[in-house]
Amino acid sequence: MRKRARSITFALPLSLLLALSGLPDAQAATPKDALLIGQVAEPQSLDPQVATAANDSRILVNLYDGLVRNGAGKLNIEPALATRWEISDDGLTYRFHLRQNVRFQDGTPFNAEAAKFTFQRMLDEKNPWHNTGPFPLAFFFSAINNIETPDAYTLVFHLKEPFAPLLSNLATPTGLIVSPTAVKKYGKDFGRHPVGTGAFRFSEWQANQRVVVHANADYWEGKPAVNTVVFRPIVDGNTRVAEMLSGGIDAMVEVPPDTVKLFAKHSKRFRLYQTVGPHVWYVMLNAHVPPFNDLRVRQAVNYAVNKQSLVDNVLQGSAGVADGPIPGAFSWAANPHVKPYPYDPDKARALLKAAGAEGATVTFYVTEGGSGMLDPVPMATAIQADLKAVGLKVNIETYEWNTYLSKVNAGLDDHTHMAEMAWMTNDPDTLPFLTLRSDAWPQKGGFNSGYYRNPQVDALLEKARLTTDNAVRGQLYRQVQQIVHDDAPWLFVANWQQNAVTSTRIQHFSLQPNFNLLLNRVTKQ
């Protein structure tokens, strides 16, 4: 195995290392009644049906509630704005009984009509408020045929066909309930003026500086313990670390791998949090154009990149090597027989030669940073070096996160061959359905930006959605995992163990497997 220290050793600046060992206690710099959190990027939108990034979701789940939610620390489903529900034997009718005496933060009542409004806004193109979108994840609920409200606190979904992921999808940010009054007031600007029923109410959004929310004194689960939460977008990892060390923030998410062990050693000043969740970090390959329209070249890339070295060195052991689109966190759906592509540069060279792709030049889109993206620039540099070693010339183009998303989500063009991406999901259906189906090409409203197509995968994913028996669903997803692994539409890289760090002034903070942050029980000394 060749040495790669020159491309994957990223030392923390000396000033920060010294700060960890010798900085006076600056943690008290932030006010006691405010929680300041360092985020990885500027939000796209605070409209839960418009936003798609985990970076945004960490704010959204504190402003809004859904009908159901994931339990704290779990991926199970529990009541939220719905206190209970029944599912018909044929799987076609879901009847939700809603919580009473709940109000949106603008003072208007939450009821069945408000919940119906949220879903019809997404699903009905003739709805007068459909133009407040776009709603890229609306097809989470495309199985809904019609919605009834028999009374003020009963909501009934009638489905076109059985749809196993419905409850899981309702627990995602896309299922959060919005204030109809606020949507009608702000229209397309609702995402800058969010109103929900959540634990915190929106106060201000200063672009590239902060999003500020205040405790909702009338929250149905009780007023939060902290009065104010400030979400600061701090794109550069070292800058987030410096702010954490100096007391400029109380907590930071997505701790740079170089500093995880250092924070862990300083337990008198900081608390490090880590948890495993369903995350996949990958590089999509444009199967629409040469050279990646050839299976042999896509497989060659997977053999060429030393993913274990990336995980051990760039990511400092904070992730495991990925083997496909369904992460092992979904133990009932993951395929234990599918193993990661081994590091085999000789095999990569042979495949490239057989495909006539030796010496090909490819363009690689890379983001400066974004939610779940795992040191994207250092990772891309290391991948570039490995591909160069087997005869591929890789030109990296780097973009700010939101600009990057707009370019990649529109679909890779004929001159763009590779692009980094990361997804965090709470159902094994989500990632492959959104990113690997033929009907999920960007022109059809999906996120299959590399234009992968396999009719067998399409059929398996459709069948899994119609199957309410989890054992049968798991078997179908295991088949998907094997086929996609062999087809190699992506460079499968890593499954992340998410992390965060707080000052010791912060109590009752925890990470969620779905990558959200629930802040209504957090306290600050």
Residues 375-422 pLDDT 10s: 899 999 999 999 999 999 999 999 999 899 999 999 999 999 999 999
Task: Return the closest-CA partner of residue 215 out of 204, 230, 200.
Answer: 200
Across 504-525, average pLDDT: 92
Answer yes or no: are the C-beta atoms of 40 and 55 closer than 8 Å.
yes
Q: Select from 180, 197, 224 the last residue of a domain.
A: 180
Number of structural domains the chain divides into: 2
Its pTM stands at 0.77
Q: State how far the Cα of 247 lies from the Cα of 27, in Å rounded to an integer.
A: 4
| Whether residues 475 and 350 fall in one domain | yes
| Whether residues 311 and 433 fall in one domain | yes
In a domain, 409, yes or no: yes
- Looking at residue 517, its amino acid is L
In a domain, 510, yes or no: no
Answer yes or no: are the C-beta atoms of 477 and 315 closer than 8 Å.
no
Q: Select from 180, 210, 242 the last residue of a domain.
A: 180
Q: Mean pLDDT lowest for which of 61-65, 250-254, 376-380, 468-472? A: 468-472
In a domain, 78, yes or no: yes
Q: Which pLDDT score, from 0 to 100, does residue 31 have?
A: 80
| Whether residues 320 and 454 fall in one domain | yes
Answer yes or no: are the C-beta atoms of 206 and 109 closer than 8 Å.
no
- DSSP letters of 378-401? HHHHHHHHHHHHTT-EEEEEEE-H
Q: Mean pLDDT lowest for which of 2-11, 12-21, 287-296, 314-323? A: 2-11
Domain with 463 in it: 279-496
- DSSP letters of 342-355? P--HHHHHHHHHHH
Q: What is the CATH number of the domain that holds 312?
A: 3.10.105.10
For the chain, the residue count is 525
Answer yes or no: are the C-beta atoms of 514 and 426 closer than 8 Å.
yes
The dihedral through the CA atoms of 459, 462, 465, 467 has a sign that is negative
In a domain, 25, yes or no: no
pLDDT above 50 for 24: no
Q: What is the CATH number of the domain that holds 146?
A: 3.90.76.10
In a domain, 114, yes or no: yes
Q: Select from 180, 209, 237 the last residue of a domain.
A: 180
In a domain, 17, yes or no: no
pLDDT band at 450 (very low <50, low <70, confident <90, very high): very high
pLDDT band at 462 (very low <50, low <70, confident <90, very high): very high
Q: State how far the Cα of 141 lies from the Cα of 210, in Å rounded to an integer.
A: 32
pLDDT band at 9 (very low <50, low <70, confident <90, very high): very low
Collapse the DSSP code of 34 into the 3-class scheme (helix H, G, I; strand E, B; otherwise coil) and give the result. Answer: strand
In a domain, 61, yes or no: no
In a domain, 105, yes or no: yes
Q: Which pLDDT score, from 0 to 100, does residue 515 have?
A: 84
> Which of residues 468 and 158 earns the better pLDDT score?
158
